[in-house]
Amino acid sequence: MQARWLCGAMVVVLIGALVHIPSSTAYVTSFPDEPDIDGIMMTVGIAVAKFLSGLVPYPTVSALLLAIINAWEPKPEDNYWEHVKDNVEQVCGEFINEHNMQQVQVYKKDLMSLLMKYERAEVTGDGTYPDKNTAADAITTSIITNRFLVEAALMPWSMAIDFTDIASVHILILKDAADSYTVTNGDVSRWWVDLSNELKHYIEYGIWLEKETMKWRNNKIDCFFDKADGACLAFEWIGLTCYDKYEITDPVRRYKEGCLQLHPDNGAEGSCSAFCDLYQSQVNRDDARWSHDYLGAVVEEWEALKIYADNMAQHVSKWVLSPFEFFVFCSLTFFYDLFLFLGIPFSHICLL
């Protein structure tokens, strides 16, 4: 009996050694059949862009929103925010707007709450819960109010992924609202006008940001040329060997390297003449690839969508305001009437 028990125990141990049983604390994505939005291979901006072009298998906008919310939820074992920061450091090194990055993380908690409300909203509400119109308006107002955090004046290149994340979420909501309130062979939703306008803003900023990132990166590489000392050159005729030195300094990559060459005769190019240019070209290729993958490719999808949005916007009735435009109109009307009631001249209102 004891022998059987020992044999059984050995079998269990052997099976345990051969078969890896995952820990109960191991992270398992809630969306195993869909792309993992991890902040490295797939950011929120990339996921939305691919969804809008039909290249990722999220069945609905609701499914994508849940995946985004799941990705943005801080997890010790799989932290989207840490992945994004590590990703940005590939191009920016330590030149990162830490303050705005932290503020964006705080803001995205509020944005996640709004996205959850939108995900649960119906096209036609029953009075007990906001409909999509109301929820989309709240998200639009919130993002427009807070997007200065990602369209930062200080080190904007470090906010590129956060910019595409928030802009893409805004575009996704506007597109879904426009689709939801457009009737086939009937009324076209005013949300198409809002979508077209916001796409214009995001495309223009995205193009500028990509160029600004590459411009900044190029300016961070210094190449110093130290010509052979004149005293040495004066005695070359007696066989003295003189050297020129090129030195590259790249604080972003914390890289420094030099190249010595024999001083060439009669103005000829030396063996190190292409040293700086080769390094600059390699950095340009690496950073251009990164910038295109995480920013340029997303902007290209926005440009394609804008063509469609512009076409739809042309069919919108000129006398219908979107909820956001109606809110702005009512606000301006209120303050206009208030100033007139207080007796403030119209010219003073314009100055305000």
Helix, strand and coil content of the chain, in percent to the nearest 5, comes to 60, 5, 30
Q: How many CA atoms lie within 13 A of 93 on its CB side?
A: 13
Residues whose CB falls within 8 Å of the CB of residue 125, separated by 6 or more in sequence, listed in order = 131, 134
pLDDT at 6: 40
pLDDT at 241: 77
Which amino acid does the sequence have at 246?
Y
Q: Which residue numbers in the chain have pLDDT < 70?
A: 1-34, 229-231, 233-239, 267, 317-327, 329-330, 336, 339-341, 343-352
- Phi, psi (rounded to 5 degrees) for 247: -140, 125
pLDDT at 327: 67
pLDDT at 306: 97
pLDDT at 10: 43
Domain coordinates of the chain in residue numbers?
44-219+297-351, 222-282
Please state the pTM of the whole predicted model. 0.77
For the four alpha carbons of 335, 336, 341 and 347, in that order, the dihedral sign comes to positive
pLDDT at 318: 58
Burial class (CB in 10 A: 0-12, 13-18, 19+), 315: exposed
> For domain 44-219+297-351, is the CATH number 1.10.3720.10?
no
Average pLDDT value for the chain: 83
pLDDT at 22: 37
Which neighbouring-strand residues pair with 260?
245
pLDDT at 27: 34
What is the rounded distance in angstroms from the CA atom of residue 98 to the CA atom of residue 80?
Answer: 16
Can you tell me whether residue 177 is helix, strand or coil?
A: helix
Which neighbouring-strand residues pair with 249?
222, 256
Token look-up 């240019």 returns: 277
H/E element, 223: strand 222-226
Can you tell me whether residue 130 is helix, strand or coil?
A: coil
